[in-house]
């Protein structure tokens, strides 16, 4: 589905560079890419993070797996090929959000390393930061949570190609952030990510940094933070 059928097309650049856009909007765009098993907490953490960032005055918008499948990706199922295309489209859409100087928060199982790598490369070749957040909890924990009853159905054979049961999940080897949600609360997770963004000067120009205080009220944390691909332009 990703075969290139578009011919006779010419890219039409705008009059405003990304640097100028960032200065006008006082914000740098990037993508925070959540990956993990179903019920690991991707959507829950992304919702809380989006709210927190907006309270800080930072434009952020969630692209959520289920939500996107109601519209843009309603023609895709859960076969490997459809999952590849699902993630390819989301990688492209997230890149557009990041290019527009917003923070895109994507919460998709995105079980295949190669798909996530493709999304990363799409961003990094355009100088846009891509922060992979592995939302991790053991299968027995997520199966016990089972907020949508999907594991039960998968175990009963009512859902085929279910990640972790009848389809693979390829865990990230070097995510920028690795959070165990069986060991950290939602507030902890938001704080871990926010502190990472601030430490790496990933998103907040100095003017906004000075007013960013609400994260201080969040509780203490326990998680591993691995690395940041700090490619691209730094506006801090
Ligand atoms: N520390 C935690 N962090 C995140 N979620 C948690 C945590 N502890 C318990 N939960 C619960 O785990 C469930 C996570 O569900 P959520 O829909 O966020 O998962 P998901 O990774 O988005 O799954 P899916 O891939 O199916 O969309 C929720 O019911 C949430 O309340
Ligand atoms: Mg979800």
Q: State residue 223's pLDDT score.
A: 37
**Phi/psi class of residue 211: alpha, beta or left (left: φ > 0; alpha: ψ in -120 to 50)?**
alpha
- Active-site residue identified among 38, 40, 43, 107: 107
**Residue to mutate, 32, 37, 41, 138, ligand 1, most ligand atoms under 8 Å from C-beta:** 41
Ligand nearest to the CA of 163: 1
DSSP letter assigned to residue 71: T
| Ligand 1 atom with the shortest distance to the CA of 142 | 12
Tokens representing 99 are 């290019």
Ligand nearest to the CA of 41: 1
Q: State residue 234's pLDDT score.
A: 33
**Residue to mutate, 83, 147, 150, ligand 1, most ligand atoms under 8 Å from C-beta:** 147
**C-alpha 117 – ligand 1 centre gap (Å):** 24
Across the chain, which distance is largest between two alpha carbons, in Å? 56
**Domain 24-137+171-200 classified CATH 3.40.50.2300?**
no
Q: State residue 21's pLDDT score.
A: 93
User: What is the full DSSP assignment across 153-165?
Assistant: HHHTTSSSS-BTT
Q: Assess whether 224 carries a catalytic annotation.
A: no
Strand boundaries in 45-144, DSSP class E: 60-64, 103-107, 129-136
Ligand nearest to the CA of 42: 1
SS3 184: coil
| Ligand 1 atom with the shortest distance to the CA of 66 | 27
Q: State residue 36's pLDDT score.
A: 98
Q: Please tell me the pTM assigned to this model.
A: 0.87
Q: State residue 202's pLDDT score.
A: 73
Taking only the tens of pLDDT, the chain with its 236 residues reads 557 888 889 999 999 999 999 999 989 999 999 999 999 999 999 999 999 999 989 999 999 988 999 999 999 998 889 989 999 999 999 999 999 999 999 999 999 999 999 999 999 999 999 999 999 999 999 999 999 999 999 999 999 999 999 999 999 999 999 999 999 999 999 999 999 999 887 765 544 443 444 444 444 433 333 333 333 333 22
Each domain of the chain, given as residue ranges in start order, spans 24-137+171-200
Q: State residue 220's pLDDT score.
A: 41
Q: Which residues line ligand 1 (CB under 6 A)?
A: 36, 38-45, 65-66, 107, 109, 145, 147, 181, 184-186, 189
**Residue to mutate, 38, 39, 69, 162, ligand 1, most ligand atoms under 8 Å from C-beta:** 39
Identify the residue whose tokens are 């927190």: 52
- The protein residue with its alpha carbon nearest to ligand 1, atom 27, reads 38
- The protein residue with its alpha carbon nearest to ligand 1, atom 31, reads 44
């Amino acid at each position: 589905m990703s075969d290139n059928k578009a011919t006779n097309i010419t890219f039409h650049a705008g009059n405003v560079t990304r640097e100028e856009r960032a200065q006008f909007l006082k914000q740098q765009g990037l993508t925070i890419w959540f990956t993990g098993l179903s019920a690991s907490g991707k959507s829950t953490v992304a919702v809380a993070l989006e709210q927190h960032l907006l309270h800080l005055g930072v434009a952020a918008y969630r692209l959520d797996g289920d939500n996107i499948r109601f519209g843009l990706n309603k023609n895709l199922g859960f076969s490997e090929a459809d999952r590849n295309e699902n993630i390819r489209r989301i990688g492209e859409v997230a890149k557009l959000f990041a290019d527009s100087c917003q923070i895109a928060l994507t919460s998709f199982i995105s079980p295949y390393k190669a798909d996530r790598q493709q999304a990363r490369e799409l961003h990094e070749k355009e100088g846009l930061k891509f922060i992979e957040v592995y939302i991790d909890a053991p299968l027995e924990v997520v199966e016990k949570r089972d907020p949508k009853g999907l594991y039960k159905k998968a175990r009963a054979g009512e859902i085929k190609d279910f990640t972790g049961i009848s389809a693979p999940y390829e865990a990230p080897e070097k995510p920028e952030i690795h959070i165990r949600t069986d060991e950290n609360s939602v507030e902890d997770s938001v704080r871990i990510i926010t502190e990472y963004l601030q430490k790496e000067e990933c998103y907040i120009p100095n003017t906004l940094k000075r007013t960013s205080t609400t994260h201080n009220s969040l509780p203490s944390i326990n998680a591993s933070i691995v690395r940041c691909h700090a490619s691209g332009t730094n506006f801090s």
